[in-house]
Amino acid sequence: MQFFQINRGASIVRLEEVVKMIMLASLPIKCLEATILAIFLTQGQEYLKRFTISFVSEFNGKVFRHVVLGIYSSGLFGALGLSRRENLMYKPLNFPSLSLLINNYTQGYHGHHHKLLRVKIGLPISHRPYMLEKIQWKGIIIPFNKGYTKKDINNILDHYSRFLRGSTNAIIKKSLPNISSDSFKTAKKQQNPSYRKVIRLGMVRNKSDNKVSSSLSISSTWRSVTNLPIINSKLARSQTSTNSYEVRI
């Protein structure tokens, strides 16, 4: 039974009201509520970089969804969250790279005989959000069932982790694996108005000199989504609802 309904498209300010209700009621919660709660419990601790990590897996023909809050501090990655499985929830801050953290979850899924379909890693969550700012759940989408090598996936994760750490403000196309041009098409547009005008990664036109740049610069907002191709997949097109998190491991 799910006691609290979480609207993943709601503003951070609105979600704060739900968090207060969760703490006041002290009722059992699931992974999505735990992730939202972790966001607000770490709010203001600016030494922590925070981002969501969403998993989609399959077992016996059924699709399972799970989400945790990824964290980064002092050169180490970890995660906060809940799960019925001990190795799919909280992870201490002792992973030197994002790829090692994701690989640890991947091994956990394999240990439970789940086929991991894809992983979504969100954009950094601000400690000082503006009034209508929302949690951006899709920063990068990595399909694990499309034949990409572990080296390619780790390369993508390590490059994206530089952006999460704040050590770079651009994703350079030539530094990514040699995959099809479809890999750099944006995913579904975010509900936030600033995300509606999306552009193709690696093809940004410079207004000053009317030339095409090879990198996607980030100023005040990150407007594009790095999405490895998921072709002819109804699972990729279906919109994730709150109720989908009721079925999890």
Catalytic site residue 159?
Answer: no
Catalytic residue among 11, 54, 57, 66: 66
Catalytic site residue 31?
Answer: yes
Catalytic site residue 73?
Answer: no
How many CA atoms does the CB half-sphere of 118 hold within 13 Å? 17
DSSP symbols for 33-63: HHHHHHHHHSTT-TT-EEEEEEEEEEETTEE
Catalytic residue among 31, 114, 183, 224: 31
Q: Please give the DSSP secondary-structure letter assigned to residue 3.
A: -
C-alpha of 93 from chain center: 18
Give the separation between CA 246 and CA 181, rounded to whole angstroms. 35
- Closest C-alpha to 66, from 98, 112, 21, 125: 112
Catalytic residue among 54, 57, 83, 99: 83
Catalytic residues: 31, 66, 83
